[in-house]
Amino acid sequence: MTRPGKSRAASWVAPFYFFVGFSALACGGLDDRNLNVTTGPAPSGGAGGTLDGASAAGSTEMPPGESPSTEGNPDVAGLENEEDDGPRVIEYAPVDTAAACSPGMSNCNSATEVIECGADGRWAEPARCEFACVGSSCGGECTPGSSECLSSISVRTCSTEALWSAPSDCENACLGTLCAGECRPGTSRCASGTEVQLCAEDGLWSPATACENACVGSSCAGECAPGSTECFSTRQLRTCSPEGQWLAATACTNACVDDACGGECVPASRRCDPNSGIPQLCSDAGVWDDQPECQFVCLGSGTCGGECVPGGARCNPVTGIPQTCGAAGTWSNEAECDFVCLGDGVCGGQCAPGTRRCDPVSGVPQLCSATGTFQNQTRCDFECSGNGECTGECNDGDVRCSGDVLQRCVGSEYVFEEQCASAAACNADEGVCVGSNCADDSDPNSTVVSDPTFGCGLSFRVPGDPTGAWLEFASGLHFDTETGIAWIHPFGGGSFDLPSLQAGCDGFELEGIGGWIVPTIDDTRALGAGCAPTEPGGACPVADPGCLSQAACGGCDSCIGGVNSTGRAEDNAYCRPNARICDNIHTSSLCTDCAIPSSWEFGITNGNINPRDITDRITGSYCIRRNFPL
């Protein structure tokens, strides 16, 4: 269809406008309506007509029941091909519901209402459309003039044709259905040199937050906080610029400490402490730190030197002349000694080095040492003469048998001691005449012994026991010939705790012999046999003083389950068969890390070694004397 031109048709009064193309005119549906199609802006009120046929000048009436035609009508011809005109506006007036109509037809009663003709040829009540009334029926996809947000920053509006427009960006944000806000969501700005603000989804600036370093432009940046400082080295400080960048480092007078110049000295420098003379090294913090004290003297540069401690004294190792150490740490000679120079540079001594004598008390030969004191030499077999030489035929106290006569050495000569029943009854080893019945020797493993000081006793030696004999005297004294240790109960019997035993041993004397102590765990292990881990030389690491920690040494495994052939089977105990003391015994070997104060104990009934509370009262309370003179 073509049109020769275009002209503005006559119009009639309408309360709203609807924009269509020419195709809308060709679809019919406007049978009983006067239609005015215009281009450009909507016409103003007062240029219209009425449905009763009265029209303004220049209007064109369309008979009822007919569709508008473009032929011969310059007002509408060619509208569908118009490319340079604005929207076309269809103006509607409310339908005259009193007028007759064709059943089934419909018309727009307003921009948002449709009205239909009933079977009786009368108009029904207008019905509201969901969005808009387009042409002669409800249609469109939105309410004309409404808008909605498609995102936080874009909006679209509903045209008068009830169609959504293309999205458009808001200047800031889109909130609800409109552009609003003070900033564009997702953007940021600097609130200060160190704080940043972010634009939230609602287009409002969020509270300022601190940057890790600086805020530059509109975001956090930089490598440091403006105005902050840090130590660049032990002697250099650098400052952060307003842009959050480190400036060139500057030198400190002494040291850089805690991100500021300070300290009392230059790091790595040295000196001698002016008060103590101890060498000092300046730390990275610019503080003087004491170094290990010099062996001799601290020099001015803070280093150690010299050969001696100022004020010290010695004897020259080559000449023996006394020397003293000066302030510079060097030796200087003093006056030579008459006899001998002692180790501390003092003259002294009691004899000329190399001279000899017999000790006036013990009779032992003595030699004057380089320190000017007499030192014991090897004891003479018999007697020491006045010039320190050995003479005589016997030592006082020695015993021998001359036939059936028992002889004892007195003044380096043998004299009569006792007449034995026979030569066979004379026992020189024990120093007694056998059969004197001074003790009960009914035990087949014992023999009678007699000592001038300690009286009558028995010597025990069990077959199969490779250790030395055990002597037991009526006085309660026990002597182990294997170890040379004497044993005795200081209280004569009873049960005692370790502190009480310690006090008893400290002051104990027997026939004028003192020096008694509480035995160690090594002493009590020397009584053991039959349990390989804990007997002397066994794998158990507990030893005094070598290993006394429970954590490091632990308890040693027991041997419960049987006693081997070397144990005291008759007592069901792990003791040497020769030993007459077989008991759980207090020791002075204290456990170094036990929860309660304890000492290590050798358990005779199971062969183990474990800590025992020192407050336990036990019968095994013995004192020992090493190197006992018997």
Task: Using alpha carbons, list the distances in angstroms from residue 513 to 459, 520, 601.
Answer: 22, 20, 27
Query: Rounded CA gap, 207 and 212, in Å?
Result: 16
pLDDT of residue 450: 73
Give 184-232 pLDDT, tens digit per residue: 898 999 988 888 899 988 889 999 998 988 888 888 988 888 888 999 9
Both tokens assigned to 198 = 């972010």
Question: Is a pLDDT exceeding 60 seen at residue 137?
Answer: yes
Q: Can you give the pLDDT at residue 571?
A: 53
481 and 578 Cβ atoms separated by less than 8 Å: no
Strand stretches in 489-622, DSSP E: 598-602, 609-613
Is the pLDDT at 146 greater than 50? The verdict is: yes
Measured distance CA(550)–CA(542) in Å, rounded: 9
Residue type, 170: C
Spatial neighbors of 245 by CB under 8 A, at least 6 apart, are: 222, 223, 224
For every residue of 391-457, DSSP letters joined together read ESS--TT-EEEETTEEEEEETTEEEEEEE-SSGGGEETTTTEETT--SS---STTEEEEEETTTEEE
Is 609 within 8 Å of 602 (Cβ atoms)?
A: yes
| Rounded Cα distance, 568 and 552, in Å | 31
DSSP 8-state symbol, 550: H
* Listed residue (504, 532, 528, 530) closest to 516, CA to CA: 504
**β-bridge mates for residue 446, sequence order:** 460
Angle at 603 between CA 601 and CA 604, to 5 degrees: 135
C-alpha span between 39 and 29 (Å, rounded)? 21
Tokens 């300070």 found at: 262
Question: 600 burial class (0-12, 13-18, 19+ CB within 10 angstroms)?
Answer: buried
Task: List Cβ neighbours of 38 (8 Å cut-off, separation of 6 or more).
Answer: 8, 9, 11, 88, 89, 91
CA nearest neighbour of 438 among 424, 418, 410, 423: 418
Q: What is the pTM of this model?
A: 0.35
Give the count of beta carbons closer than 10 Å to the beta carbon of residue 429.
11
Backbone angles phi, psi at 457, to 5 degrees: -160, -170
Quick check: 68 and 25 in contact, CB under 8 A?
yes
**Confidence band, pLDDT 50/70/90 cuts, at residue 134:** confident
332 confidence band (pLDDT: 50, 70, 90): very high
Residue 184, by phi and psi: left (phi above 0), alpha (psi -120 to 50) or beta? beta
Q: What is the mean pLDDT of the chain?
A: 79
Residue among 444, 480, 496 nearest 619 (CA): 496
Q: How large is the average pLDDT for residues 469-496?
A: 89
Asked if 394 contacts 415 with a C-beta cutoff of 8 angstroms, the reply is no
Rank 78-92, 401-415, 521-535 by mean pLDDT and report only the highest.
Answer: 521-535
153, burial (CB in 10 Å: exposed 0-12, middle 13-18, buried 19+): buried
Tabulate helix, strand, coil % of the chain (nearest 5). 5, 30, 65
**Residue 396: predicted pLDDT:** 78
Nearest Cα to Cα of residue 398 among 386, 380, 385: 380
**Please, what sign has the CA dihedral across residues 346, 347, 351, 355?**
positive
User: Across residues 367-382, what is the average pLDDT?
Assistant: 87
- Looking up tokens 């440091």, which residue turns up? 224
CA distances from 293 to 264, 278, 284, 369 (A): 21, 5, 21, 35
455: pLDDT strictly greater than 80: no
* Cβ–Cβ under 8 Å, residues 88 and 38: yes
Confidence of residue 85 (pLDDT cuts 50, 70, 90): very low
Alpha-carbon distance of 169 to 172, in angstroms, equals: 8
Query: Is residue 405's pLDDT more than 80?
Result: no
| Nearest-angstrom CA–CA distance, 416 and 408 | 6
pLDDT of residue 530 exceeding 60, the answer is yes
CA distances in angstroms from 22 to 136, 335, 443, listed in the order given: 15, 143, 148
Say yes or no to pLDDT of 183 above 60.
yes
Q: Answer yes or no: is pLDDT of 597 > 60.
A: yes
Contact 402, 418 (CB under 8 A): no
Flag whether pLDDT at 434 surpasses 60.
yes
CA 587 to CA 524: how far, in whole Å? 8
Least reliable range by pLDDT among 4-13, 131-140, 468-477 = 4-13
Task: Count the neighbouring beta carbons within 10 Å of the beta carbon of residue 158.
Answer: 20
CB atoms within 10 A of CB 412: 18
